[in-house]
A and B are shown apart, each in its own frame.
Chain A
Amino acid sequence: MDLSVKLPGLDLKNPVIPASGCAGYGRELAELYDLSRLGGIAIKSATPKERFGNPTPRIAETPMGMLNAIGLQNHGVDYIIENELPFLAKYDTCVLANVAGAAEEDYIEVIEKMNDEPVISAFELNISCPNVKHGGIGLGTDPELAAHITRLAKAAAKKPVYVKLTPNVTSIVDIAKAVEAAGADGLVMINTLLGMRIDLKSGRPVLANNTGGLSGPAIKPVAVRAVWQCAQAVSIPIIGVGGIARAEDVLEFLLAGADAVEVGAMNFVDPYICVKIIDDLERVLNKYGYTSVRDVIERRKLK
């Protein structure tokens, strides 16, 4: 069955992409399976300089999900270009470079440095990380600021720009429309939901950062709703993400209006989850009467 799908800059052999932060730069998953099996891979956020991230504990389990407050830990864009991208160049898969920062110029610096890297297919503008104090989510919760950073990124980028949206807003549709009008080539939605857990013995938050981003199957209905709402309001493609755990979930996101999906927290539960989903997708599409991924996209009813 033809599982391929074409989005700006992303000629995907199948619609399954491990989400940024859940697969590092591919090295660990490559010990388990051939990364060329993946439609693409969204690599861990790059910032201009190295970031250690937040103090530990950074991880807490929740019902059908987890909280994380990593804090965009990465070695900085120069290190990533020199040491991580050459590894990914060995594989036949699309690379989405997640770009983050504390200020506008950070995003532009990362984009300009990565612009001429042939291994990168597209940029994923992270204006939705709930775990850093400045930038990130500050830009992603206001339509005008989101549009502004999108315009700057588009002006700087030589590759398509996807904007990753946060669900921690009153109207995600307003943000989606604003970044579309600002020239975004696509949307990735949703980033994590802001959450918290408190340890009953100590009476203190479990995470050292106090709050963290909720991911996993617990957030899937929120993500499906957000994709469905935005798919009716914008005409740029959407990459759906949030709690995908099996091939049926991929079909659900496609029907909601996504053209591809990212798989996040489930990579931690089953490190083979992406290839298992890819292997099972044909069976699921068959079962519900579809002949290809594109067939779902063409026949879905969004209203």
Chain B
Amino acid sequence: MRTETAKITDNRKIAADTWKMVLKTSLAAETGCGQFVQVQVPGYFLRRPISVCRVLDGEHLVLIYKVVGDGTARMAEMQVGESLDLFGPLGHGFPVEDRNVLLIGGGVGVPPLLETAARHIQAGHHVTAILGFNDAESIILEQQFRQLGCDVYVATMDGSYGTKGTVMDAIRKNDIQEEYVLSCGPLPMLKAVSSAFQKGYVSLEARMACGMGACMGCVVKDQEGESLRVCKDGPVFAIGKVVL
């Protein structure tokens, strides 16, 4: 992990309130799937932790972010050619084990699963991706997962696209039998995934300050009551390890 000023090579809206930014940075070569970077947005104090969606050519990082407040709104205004200071790569990402995987993503939890899919496919494994969104306007990355060669199933809460309901509804409806899961998304989804599957990993989201394990701002508890830092010990944890 280190800091580096990275040049923006793309920054565009790809779905409702959702933007994609591409940055040219040497941090890309060091970044694994499921890791994140801390982005210094001009004019804002704390960095924004954002998961890495894709590592391209070993020299570009793709970040997909939702505009939820003033800081991310400022990020969305930034132009190609401008620079952002990044701190990363941070955290423990998804392992790439020698097996086929079921990826389950919800909303802006979907992006880190794309690089995860790519690395599993590159290793010769079959990847099934279940992607859940609120509505058709919020869908992201479906085609990118398909282009990698994943079997892709989409669920929307309002039924405007794919299976109506949650990712768990899509898994039932399509009779998905995989039992090893890698998942990232909102807490209720991770809870449902953790009660339905025993094997695999979930990636958590948290408010952070330092992003490197020093400040204890983002702690969670494991089943034994020990504290774990989402930023440093996670954000990826084995299913069942953390009290969600």
Are A32 and B2 in contact (CB-based, < 8 A)?
A: yes
Closest chain B residue to A51, Cβ basis: B227
| Interface of chain B: mostly helix, strand, loop or mixed | loop
- In the complex, the number of residue pairs spanning A and B with C-beta atoms less than 8 Å apart equals 92
Closest chain A residue to B210, Cβ basis: A268
Contacts of B216 in A (CB 8 A): 21, 24, 44, 53, 58, 70, 73
Q: Which of A61, A64, A66 is the most central at the interface, judged by chain B CB atoms within 10 Å of its CB?
A: A61
From B40-48, B53-61, B108-116, B163-171, give the one contacting chain A. Answer: B40-48
The verdict on A61 contacting B218 (CB below 8 Å), with A56-B206, A269-B40, A270-B3 known, is no
Interface residue? B207 (CB, 8 A): yes
- CA distance in complex: A65, B209 (Å): 11
Q: Residues 14-47 of chain A: 1 if any B CB is under 8 Å from the residue's CB, otherwise 0?
A: 0000000111100111011000000000001000
B69 CB to nearest chain A CB (Å)? 9
Are B209 and A268 in contact (CB-based, < 8 A)?
A: yes
The verdict on A28 contacting B207 (CB below 8 Å), with A61-B46, A73-B227 known, is no
Contacts of A28 in B (CB 8 A): 210, 212-214, 232
Contacts of A59 in B (CB 8 A): 46, 207-209, 215, 217-218
Contacts of A57 in B (CB 8 A): 207
Interface residue? B219 (CB, 8 A): yes
- CA distance in complex: A68, B215 (Å): 9
Interface residue? B186 (CB, 8 A): no
Contacts of B207 in A (CB 8 A): 56-60
Q: How many residues of B contact A (CB 8 A)?
A: 29
Are A61 and B215 in contact (CB-based, < 8 A)?
A: no
* Residue of A56, A62, A267, A269 touching B218 (CB-CB under 8 A): A56
B66 CB to nearest chain A CB (Å)? 14
A170 CB to nearest chain B CB (Å)? 29
Contacts of B219 in A (CB 8 A): 52-53, 56, 58, 73
- CA distance in complex: A24, B212 (Å): 10
| Interface of chain A: mostly helix, strand, loop or mixed | loop
* Residue of A21, A56, A272 touching B215 (CB-CB under 8 A): A21
Contacts of B212 in A (CB 8 A): 28, 31, 271
Contacts of A66 in B (CB 8 A): 45-46, 209
- CA distance in complex: A269, B41 (Å): 10
- CA distance in complex: A54, B217 (Å): 10
Are B215 and A269 in contact (CB-based, < 8 A)?
A: no
- CA distance in complex: A216, B45 (Å): 8
Are B214 and A24 in contact (CB-based, < 8 A)?
A: yes
A213 CB to nearest chain B CB (Å)? 12
Closest chain A residue to B47, Cβ basis: A269
- CA distance in complex: A57, B205 (Å): 11
Are B206 and A271 in contact (CB-based, < 8 A)?
A: no
Contacts of A64 in B (CB 8 A): 45
Are A22 and B214 in contact (CB-based, < 8 A)?
A: yes
Contacts of A68 in B (CB 8 A): 209, 215, 217
Are B45 and A271 in contact (CB-based, < 8 A)?
A: no
The verdict on A70 contacting B221 (CB below 8 Å), with A28-B210, A58-B207, A269-B46 known, is no
- CA distance in complex: A31, B216 (Å): 17
Q: Can you list 22 pairs linking A and B with CB atoms under 8 Å apart?
A: A24-B216, A27-B213, A31-B212, A32-B2, A44-B216, A52-B221, A53-B227, A57-B207, A58-B217, A58-B219, A59-B208, A61-B71, A64-B45, A66-B45, A66-B209, A68-B215, A73-B219, A217-B45, A265-B209, A267-B210, A268-B210, A271-B3
B residues near A (Cβ < 8 Å) are 1-3, 40, 44-47, 71, 87, 206-221, 225, 227, 232
